[in-house]
Every structure is written in C-alpha cells, then in structure tokens.
Amino acid sequence: MEKREQLYEGKAKKVFATENPDYVIVSYKDDATAFNGKKKGTIEGKGVINNTMSNMMFRYLETKGVKTHFEEQLSERETVVKKVEIVPLEVIIRNVAAGSFSKHYGVPEGKVLAAPTIEFSYKSDALDDPLLNEYHALALELATKEEIETIKAMAFKVNDELKAFFKGIGIDLIDFKLEFGRFHGEIVLADEISPDTCRFWDSVTHEKLDKDRFRRDLGGVEDAYSEIFKRING
Ligand code: TMP
C-alpha cells in the first residue's frame, strides 16, 4: 500500500492516506503526553513497541472473534488499518482500582473490584475528555443504542481475552482504554492496545509496567515498555 498525504497528527500517532479510500497508514511516534497534553516527553522506542504490540494484540483478538481495524504491519512504526470513523468515546474497563477510579471513589489502588466496570468519556481534548454515561452518549448522538450495546459486549470480551493472555505471562491487567470505529456500518476495535493505554502490573511484585511510570515520574519508563514487549514475545 502506498503512503500518501498526512491526514492527521495526534499526540502519539500520525495518519496518512493511501491510494485506497478504505485504508490509512498509522505511524507511531515516541512522543508521550499525559494530563491531556499538559505533560510532554519522549519515550525512546515507544512507537516501535506500541505498533508491534498493538498489532499482536489485534491479531490475537481476531482469532477470538473480535473484529479490529488491523490489516498489515508495514514496518517497525507503520501499519495499514481500516479507515474508520472513530466513535468519540473512550471506553475504559477496570478490573482493579487505580488512577482516576481510586481518586473518584476513595478506593485504594490495587483493590480488586468485585466485578469489572466500564465507563465512558467523551473524546474531546477541548473539554478534557469528560466522563459520561450511555444516556449522555445517546443524547449527544455520539453513538446509537445498538452501537453502545455492541461496544459494551466487545469491550468485556476484550477484557476476558486480554486478562487471560496477560495472566499467562505474569502480568495483571488492571485497566485499559479502548476506542471503536465504524467501518461500512460495522463497529470494529480501533486505536491501540499498549502500555500507553493499559495499566500492567507484574503479578508477583506488583511493579508498574506501563505509562504510569511516565505520568508519575517513577523512572524506568523505557525499561517498563521493553519488559512488557519481551514477555509478550516469550
Ligand atoms: P484513568 O485511571 O486515568 O482514568 O485511566 C484509566 C485507563 O485508561 C488507564 O489504563 C490509562 C488509560 N488512559 C488512556 O489510554 N488515555 C487517557 O487519556 C487516559 C486519561 C487514560
């Protein structure tokens, strides 16, 4: 597939057109941001890891019956994906209390939740990704009722599959954020699955192996990304 003009540049990826209107090429950057772009930095080699890891996860989920935007990895940083219309919702699944959940509800980080939870934020940098519920999403016409049902079912299915996968390599999947897109009327999993968008804790030591090391200035950021990548690759 031929890389043509740049269509968009986000905080962590660039998107390029191709000769086929149904496909785009994403290019993963080493740029890292947190707190809606207020904190900026670079995580050396992150783009390569997040690209390759996301594609491995998408391929894995496809074998489990989850439709994704993944098509073909072109290089270390570049992948052909379906050109979807992104549903402007960040879909967050949690298994263990951490981050904003711990803060909002006064639950210590690390408390295993009695059941997995789902929450939605409105994907809007200008508004700081405010939390909303399904009724807000319908009222604001962000998605249809049917799409929301599909997204919820897919998100919990992804959680079951990823939790089991990571357990097998000694990692607890604490929480993660998904994005979905519309492709010829069908909802598919899009964006990425990486240490930028998931919390991964070592099952034994509970060491944080994700972007919280950057967000919270814990040091060892690159090492954490490498460790996750190494374990996935056996
Ligand atoms: P939170 O506890 O800060 O709400 O984050 C929940 C999960 O979502 C965590 O795994 C990190 C991920 N996340 C993103 O991928 N993008 C974001 O902008 C935010 C705030 C969180």
pLDDT digits (tens, 9 = 90+) for 28-81: 999 999 999 999 999 999 999 999 999 999 999 999 999 999 999 999 999 999
What pLDDT, on a 0 to 100 scale, did the predictor assign at position 222?
Answer: 98
Does 197 contact ligand 1 (Cβ within 6 A)? Answer: yes
Q: Residue 6 corresponds to which tokens in the numbers above?
A: 């740049």
Q: 6-82 maps to which CATH number?
A: 3.30.200.20
- Ligand 1 geometric centre to CA of 169 (Å): 22
- Ligand 1 geometric centre to CA of 59 (Å): 23
Does 69 contact ligand 1 (Cβ within 6 A)? Answer: no
Q: Which residue type does 230 have?
A: K
- Ligand 1 geometric centre to CA of 171 (Å): 18
Which class would CATH give 85-221? alpha beta
**Nearest atom within ligand 1 for CA of residue 98:** 2
Distance CA 207, CA 198 (A): 14
Does 50 contact ligand 1 (Cβ within 6 A)? Answer: no
Each domain of the chain, given as residue ranges in start order, spans 6-82, 85-221
For helices 221-232 and 46-63, the axis angle rounded to 10 degrees is 30
- Residue to substitute in 13, 38, 53, 92 for testing ligand 1 pocket (most ligand atoms within 8 angstroms of CB): 92
What pLDDT, on a 0 to 100 scale, did the predictor assign at position 79?
Answer: 98
Contact 57, 70 (CB under 8 A): no
What pLDDT, on a 0 to 100 scale, did the predictor assign at position 137?
Answer: 98
Q: What is the pLDDT along the chain (234 residues), one digit of tens a residue?
A: 899 999 999 999 999 999 999 999 999 999 999 999 999 999 999 999 999 999 999 999 999 999 999 999 999 999 999 999 999 999 999 999 999 999 999 999 999 999 999 999 999 999 999 999 999 999 999 999 999 999 999 999 999 999 999 999 999 999 999 999 999 999 999 999 999 999 999 999 999 999 999 999 999 999 999 999 999 999
Q: Which residue type does 70 have?
A: F
Does 123 contact ligand 1 (Cβ within 6 A)? Answer: no
